[in-house]
Structure 1
Amino acid sequence: MSTADGSTATTGQDPDQERGLARWAQRSAAWTERWFPDAYVFALAGVVLVSVAALVNGSSPQTVAGTFGDGFWDLTAFTLQMAMVVLTGYVVASSPPVARLIARIALVPSTPRGAVAFVALLSCLVSMLNWGLSLVFSGLLARAIARRGDLRADYRALGAAAYMGLGAVWALGLSSSAAQLQATPESLPPELLAITGVLDFGSTILTWQSLVLAAVLIVLTVAVAYASAPRGGAVRTAQEMGIDLDDTVERPDGPSRPGEYLEHSRVLPALIGLLALGWLVLQLATLPVLSVLSNLNGYLLVFLVLGLVLHGTPRGFLDATAKAVPTTAGVLVQFPLYAAMAAVLTRAEGRGGVTVSEHLADLFTGLGSGGAFAVVIALYTALLGLLVPSGGGKWLVEAPYVMQSATDVGMNLGWTVQIYNAAEALPNLVNPFFMLPLLAVLGLRARHLVGFTFLQFVFHLPVVLLGLWLLGMTFEFVPPVQP
């Protein structure tokens, strides 16, 4: 049996003794982990590919280079916002009150397979609120259940279940990068804003069609998690895998000198919390609820202050933040490349003054409207997401030509965002990039989880495509609304 660090143990059951699809998926994941480069390399390659496409389209080298540099920092504000989505979720999940809540919740399931299904359900539900919170909360819940001496649950299956929020429905929830971007005009590049206008949550993630699709996927996820959980001799517990489950956190000592008293005081966090609560009440009293929910800056303000209040003191909050910062690295270094890609696609004019984005729009427009358009866009999004794992950044690469095509064929623009969102989650089930924060919490490697997550992918793919096709037929085209 392989342990978390790749060594061999003598207890439990070797993963090669798994049968059927799970065994094949684990071997495939091991191959991917060995041969696939980091996701940042794919982002670099994407810039090169788009630049070559612009040159082939007739753009001059000077135009391509100039557009690359001019667009590189177009997403500075959005990059910070997406990094804060991850950071705030981590800080809230690691706070003492939430940690105590997790310990109580871990006592709810009564059977090993039920525990796996339970983790999958909560992971999905929490991800509808915040995908960063879901990763950390679910990972800590999986560890808490694994510590129970009366429940012999498979730790790999628990870990995969903890990932299901990000692998199944996160992009259909409030932290959807694409939906938040489309609802925040100051974060939209001018070229995209001119095509789509502003789309608030009422036309994207809070439509009844989107909520129905999310509910179906959650039920499917929980059912597959339950059915695929190992039993009997196939179970591998955390102890058998050599995982240290001690989650004892060293709380900061009291002040040792006068300058530290305020660092350990609960007064300032409480006052800031009251200010934030007053702001939220004022917003809800003076603006439409959907407008408040759609405001990304307000969303992050509430989560950041909530983390401060839950940690109790500035010192505790800062210590948690220091641990959360490394999980934002991928967002910070990749999003500028996505901005450059989007700029080259939409601004580097070639022969006849036509950009690569416009050529792609013509290609997708030729597919026609209705179900065929939805399915092809979904498959394209999923494939691109396998190579370029990023919800918000990749939307900025796709959106100019996808949304222009949707307008040309009369596809509802809000539902087009949801086509992207539903398909965007699919590659997360087989690409380990977004597993990294969770793996750090669990003490596992990607190959331990992908066998289970790939099985979810097999079931999710046809359901997502069919759902997008059928539900998309209930929409009417609505012209873009400019801010």
Structure 2
Amino acid sequence: MARAALRSAAWSERWFPDAWVFAALGVDIVAVAALACGATPGVTVNAFGDGFWSLIPFTMQMAFVVIGGYVLATAPVIARLIDVLARVPRTGRGAICYVALVSMLASLLSWGFSLVFGGLLVRALARRSDLRMDYRAAGAAAYLGLGAVWAMGLSSSAAQLQANPKSMPPGLLKITGVLPFSETIFLWQSIALTTVLIAVSLLVCWLTAPSDQHARTAEDFGVVETATPTLPPRQRPGEWLEYSPLLSLLIGLLGLGWLGHEFASKPAVVAIASLNTYNFLFLTLGLLLHWRPRSFLNAVARAVPGTAGVLIQFPLYGSIAALLTQAPGAGDATLSHRLSGLFVHVASTETFSLVMGVYSSILGFFVPSGGGKWLVEAPYVMQAANDLHVHLGWAVQVYNAAEALPNLINPFWMLPLLGVLGLKARDVVGFTFMQLLVHVPLVLGLLWALGLTLTYVPPVMP
């Protein structure tokens, strides 16, 4: 498997396109498919343009994931803490598995935290001169939180939505009722599936980790890990506020006050799962720990180049989502509904989990948005679950488990992590592809088998 992973990595480095090219091809393919299904050129063009800016708030959130994570990590206190954690592994292969475990466990609490923390841990491990760790494989391991189990945890967009009737569209509420966590992520079947996924993912990391003689380090990719730059001395009187902690302290106190109210009024896991709260927390702590505004601003300037891929590519993914859901063709049916008809209508009670898993994973490759895609899929998928008498909470978990599969090779969610690591998608996808080969039959098989252990419960209305 290690040799196969190296061949896969070599192939992807040679043939896998830049992530922007990948997104552009996706737009073209979906646009042609919409036209072929009867959408007029005008409708197709409008869907492309309307969708282009639809992810701008999310784009900025993801950019700030990179900026906030880098700013916080380069604060002297946090940098030392990460260095302490990075001392645990003794071998390069052990370090890769260590990163994978930390990433997956963290993602069960918050996928955003997992993404940034995993990347920062990889960079800290890369600074160890006594550890020959393959930087590509470690980066792929840091991505496993997003590529394996994030949607099975507390930050699952679908599970959170179904548990909160005030957040659900009225039409969906009538179909599914309220599904508490006890009927979704806390089902014993869901916990068993998550446990198996973590164990198997770690095993694949161990088996595919390159040996020391084949390992490529951070320096091989031009990522030179150096000590955090020191703050140069003040050169003119006008800079005194930039070098004084006064502004940092005042703004930091305001930020901590808002965060205190946020965590006091909501469960901690719900509050931290919000990207706005998460980014606000990182920026506030980063500002306070850098202490002087000039140190904080220097860290932001060093982080911004890592956001370029996010800023230029996410608009194309917004267009893909709009083309799938807002460009009706013949019979006023969109591509999304045609795909659902293709898969849902061939399902039975026994095969629903398998068919839905296949469908959700395929559509997730083109619409990489856990919560947004669930709002598109849920009305007709959950109605089919009712008609076929399939456990509704398990249908949500089928979606969650299958939703993560395309993430393993879709560069959409990789971009913030790649910005932290200074890598390209092609550098890590060879290793994540090996995980995908194992995960697809494992996840689909377990979804089908565990689904047979559940019985249908009618919707419970609030």
Shorter chain as denominator, the TM-score bin is: 0.7 to 0.9
Structure 1: unaligned runs, 5 residues or longer: 1-20
Residue 52 of structure 1 is aligned with which of 8, 15, 32?
32
Conserved? CA contact 1:89–1:134, under 8 Å: no
* Counterpart residue type for residue 70 of structure 2: Y
Deviation at 1:250, TM superposition (A): 1.2
| Alpha-carbon distance in 2 for matches of 1:308, 1:371 | 54
Residue 314 of structure 1 is aligned with which of 266, 289, 293?
293
Partner of 2:231: 252
Conserved? CA contact 1:200–1:294, under 8 Å: no
Deviation at 1:121, TM superposition (A): 1.8
Deviation at 1:235, TM superposition (A): 5.7
Partner of 1:301: 280
Aligned residues: 458
Q: Tell me whether 1:38 sits opposite 2:38 in the alignment.
A: no
Q: Tell me whether 1:364 sits opposite 2:340 in the alignment.
A: no
Deviation at 1:100, TM superposition (A): 0.5
Q: Tell me whether 1:405 sits opposite 2:381 in the alignment.
A: yes
- Within a 5 Å distance, the mapping from 1:207-246 to structure 2 comes to 210=190, 212-230=192-210, 234=213, 236=215, 238=217, 245-246=224-225
Conserved? CA contact 2:122–2:142, under 8 Å: yes
Conserved? CA contact 2:368–2:407, under 8 Å: no
| Alpha-carbon distance in 2 for matches of 1:183, 1:318 | 40
SS at match of 1:58: coil
Partner of 1:29: 9
- Taking only the aligned residue pairs, the percentage that are identical comes to 53
Partner of 1:81: 61
Conserved? CA contact 1:198–1:480, under 8 Å: yes
| Alpha-carbon distance in 2 for matches of 1:415, 1:358 | 22
- Within a 5 Å distance, the mapping from 1:80-479 to structure 2 comes to 80-129=60-109, 131=111, 133-148=113-128, 150-151=130-131, 157-173=137-153, 210=190, 212-230=192-210, 234=213, 236=215, 238=217, 245-287=224-266, 292-293=271-272, 295-368=274-347, 372-383=351-362, 388=366, 391-392=368-369, 396=372, 399-401=375-377, 403-410=379-386, 416=395, 418-430=397-409, 449-450=428-429, 452-472=431-451, 474=454
| Alpha-carbon distance in 2 for matches of 1:429, 1:263 | 42
What do residues 194-243 of structure 1 show as CA deviations (whole Å, max 9, x unaligned)? 99899998876677655554343223333333344455x74647499586
Deviation at 1:131, TM superposition (A): 4.7
Deviation at 1:468, TM superposition (A): 3.1
Greater mean deviation of Cα atoms: 408-417 or 191-200: 191-200
Output the aligned Cα RMSD. 4.3
Counterparts in 2 of 1:162 and 1:55: CA distance versus 1, 3 Å: closer
| Alpha-carbon distance in 2 for matches of 1:401, 1:365 | 11
Conserved? CA contact 1:24–1:451, under 8 Å: no
What do residues 324-358 of structure 1 show as CA deviations (whole Å, max 9, x unaligned)? 33333333333333333333433334344333333
| Alpha-carbon distance in 2 for matches of 1:193, 1:91 | 41
Counterparts in 2 of 1:314 and 1:363: CA distance versus 1, 3 Å: same
Deviation at 1:85, TM superposition (A): 3.3
What do residues 413-453 of structure 1 show as CA deviations (whole Å, max 9, x unaligned)? 66555444433433444566765665666676767655544
Counterparts in 2 of 1:331 and 1:115: CA distance versus 1, 3 Å: closer
Q: Give the structure-1-normalised TM-score.
A: 0.75
* Counterpart residue type for residue 400 of structure 1: V
